[in-house]
Amino acid sequence: KWRKGHNELVERKQQKELSVRAEEMSEKIPHVNGGCISIRDKYEYTDEWYCEIVPSGIEEIMAEGRNLNHCVGKSERYWERIERKEAFVLFLRRASAPENPYYTLEVEPNGTIRQKRTHYDRQGKDIDDASAFLRKWQKVVAARLTEDDKALAARSKEQRLLEFADLKEK
């Protein structure tokens, strides 16, 4: 009972810290939460095996990073990209357990996937099983795109190429 109580206390403390950090980031970069909500109809999709979920905002993305022990939620780079509508963070889940973290995706406005990461910033062979779903999801997203989305995607691609050039130079 002592160990269980200890673990519950640690979990509550971590959740409070996460909430405080999320609130601070929301004040610093104010349009992320609204940006997440605004893209939900365009990017969410479910089939028999998998679902693509748009998080509700910063706190949920930070929790995802904590649960999978990866970088999404620890770096302001992701918040800035969402703020500029350059890239979005989405959650790939198994349809049988949509509440359980599986993979976190960083995607461009046209559905191009920049990153697919699971525990500890890794990508396992299990992502191969979801590849057909991801291709189907990308076709659905492509059909939902507006001209504004396509312009955002073109700028996003340019930005990604500039980042690659900068990394190569450094």
Query: What residues have CB less than 8 Å from 170, skipping those under 6 apart?
Result: none
User: Tokens 């509508």 belong to which residue?
Assistant: 85
pLDDT at 164: 87
pLDDT at 74: 81
pLDDT at 150: 93
pLDDT at 102: 97
CA 7 from chain centre, in angstroms, equals 27
pLDDT at 95: 97
Integer Cα distance of 89 and 24 in angstroms? 19
Rounded-to-5 percentages of helix, strand, coil across the chain: 60, 15, 25
pLDDT at 85: 93
pLDDT at 60: 94
pLDDT at 156: 92
Query: What residues have CB less than 8 Å from 9, skipping those under 6 apart?
Result: none
87 CB burial (10 A radius; 0-12, 13-18, 19+): buried
pLDDT at 97: 97
User: Which stretches in the chain have pLDDT values below 70?
Assistant: none
